[in-house]
Amino acid sequence: MDSQLHVYNSLSGKKEPFTPITPGYVGMYVCGPTVYSNVHLGNCRTFISFDIVYRYLRYLDYKVRYVRNITDAGHLENDEDVGEDRIAKKARLEKIEPMEVVQRYTVDFHNTLALLNNLPPSIEPTATGHIIEQIEIIKKILDAGFAYEVNGSVYFDVLRFNKDHQYGKLSGRNVEDLIHNTRSLEGQSDKKNPQDFALWKKAEPQHIMRWPAPWSDGFPGWHLECTAMSTKYLGEQFDIHGGGMDLKFPHHECEIAQAEATTKKSPVNYWIHANMLTLNGKKMAKSTGNNILPNEIFTGDNTLFSKSYAPSIVRFFILQAHYRSILDISEKALAASEKGYHRLMDAYQLLDRLPIGETGDFDQQQWLKLCHQAMNDDFNTPVLIAHLFDAAKYINSVKNGLQSMDAKQKKSLTKYLNAFLFDVLGLELPTQEKGSDGKLEQTIDLLLNLREEARLNKDFDLSDNIRDRLQDIGVQLKDTPEGTAYTIE
Ligand SMILES: [Zn+2]
């Protein structure tokens, strides 16, 4: 490989060369969903972005441990540690058990990500499965003097922490601004200061999701689970932590504080954040109706778009933008992606049938270098896709007899298109093609062989007849010095 992977690190605000802690191995933690509703499209974009990171690191031969959690307790309705637990609220409204809510939406999440061809993580731990680990971390933070207990709840003391650490360094905030901008919650909280955050909350009598702890029967704070699970499976310091841009503050800031308070070490070397997805130029929100679920796009069961779009098209659309830029989804943009996706897949499928020439007219070394450079430049999928379109253009010009491809080139182009299209970008062939198993192409090849035999036997009536009849059904033949190529209309 002729260039090195560089990753944009949200902590430094710069692209940095990627060097893992242990050569050859990468530990990556990504904040997973809170499973109280169907996974939304913006989340899908985030998880596709990290699927690309995971896939490309594997392509580079790293052994990657990818941990992505399921939040099934502790995530309250708002960031000020007040309000109901999101899962408990849904369970109350639907009169079902909280774990039924968790089960239903975990299944939805897995199904949707599988349709989008995301690889499953190596470990998918749950918050409720790691209550003991979370209690242990709270004890350590209390022992270190960075937390306090009030009425059975435990809070992280941000001002105390900020005396000898820097709270806010990831999101670029300073504590003085936070003090001014955080609204105080009169009577609603036991916190010493409004910017403090909950590590353990005492459960109200009606709160059904509760566990025993030294301070009270209660539940852990949302930020704590990610510290507990990332540390347990990846160690006190690991390579990559990812999530949506909206998690930078307060969630990830609190994770850093919790980890530094107990280990005195910076927990993560590279923080990666995926940007948001808007719909028709506006923020997606259920309350305004500017909202669409992934499944509503796949089935066409929605009022926003005129037809359905397959998961592969949605994935391709998402990868045509860099993960750090805001992406707007609209019917026009999806339709353009659908065209591009088919152009690329048609060229890929044509490659196998191209005639072999004497020379290779494509600078494949240079092309491969550019493809790697794109991905090494902070996983730049839109630039990689532009290079794949260059390869498609070459394939089409060989088909049209304008350029030539030799056997060696055909073999290596097939190898690298397979690698980039399917392993790195995680695209899939269009479904109807998958079902037909290439039988159409085999049938046409058979007819072309019969026509070639007829020509060798000087039976030009038969050979012309085959050509004309194929043309009648929309298969255009083109005779070139290297053999016969064809296109299907
Ligand atoms: Zn998290």
- In order, the DSSP letters of 58-118 are HHTT-EEEEEE-BB-S--BSSTTS-S-BHHHHHHHHHTS-HHHHHHHHHHHHHHHHHHTTP
Does the structure show a pLDDT above 80 at 177?
A: no
Residue 250 and residue 280 in contact, taking contact as beta carbons nearer than 8 Å: no
pTM of structure: 0.87
Q: What are phi and psi of 212, to 5 degrees?
A: -75, 140
**How far away, in angstroms, is 171 Cα from ligand 1 center?**
15
Q: Identify which has the larger pLDDT, 315 or 179.
A: 315
Mean pLDDT of 27-31: 98
**How far away, in angstroms, is 334 Cα from ligand 1 center?**
30
Does the structure show a pLDDT above 50 at 435?
A: no
Q: List the structure tokens of 266.
A: 């910076």
Residue 158 and residue 175 in contact, taking contact as beta carbons nearer than 8 Å: yes
**How far away, in angstroms, is 256 Cα from ligand 1 center?**
11
3-state secondary structure of 22: coil
- What type of residue sits at position 197? F
**How far away, in angstroms, is 317 Cα from ligand 1 center?**
26
**How far away, in angstroms, is 31 Cα from ligand 1 center?**
4
Does the structure show a pLDDT above 60 at 436?
A: no
3-state secondary structure of 235: coil
Residue 230: the pLDDT is 98
Tokens 């069961």 label which residue?
301
**How far away, in angstroms, is 99 Cα from ligand 1 center?**
20
Residue 1: the pLDDT is 61
**How far away, in angstroms, is 308 Cα from ligand 1 center?**
33
**How far away, in angstroms, is 259 Cα from ligand 1 center?**
13
Residue 332 and residue 279 in contact, taking contact as beta carbons nearer than 8 Å: no
Alpha carbons 420 and 179: distance in angstroms, whole number: 48
Q: Cα torsion at 227, 232, 234, 236 (round to 10°)?
A: 60
**How far away, in angstroms, is 158 Cα from ligand 1 center?**
19
Residue 2: the pLDDT is 62
Does the structure show a pLDDT above 50 at 18?
A: yes
Q: Return the top range by mean pLDDT from 74-78, 344-348, 427-431.
A: 344-348
Q: List the structure tokens of 350.
A: 């044509």
**How far away, in angstroms, is 22 Cα from ligand 1 center?**
23
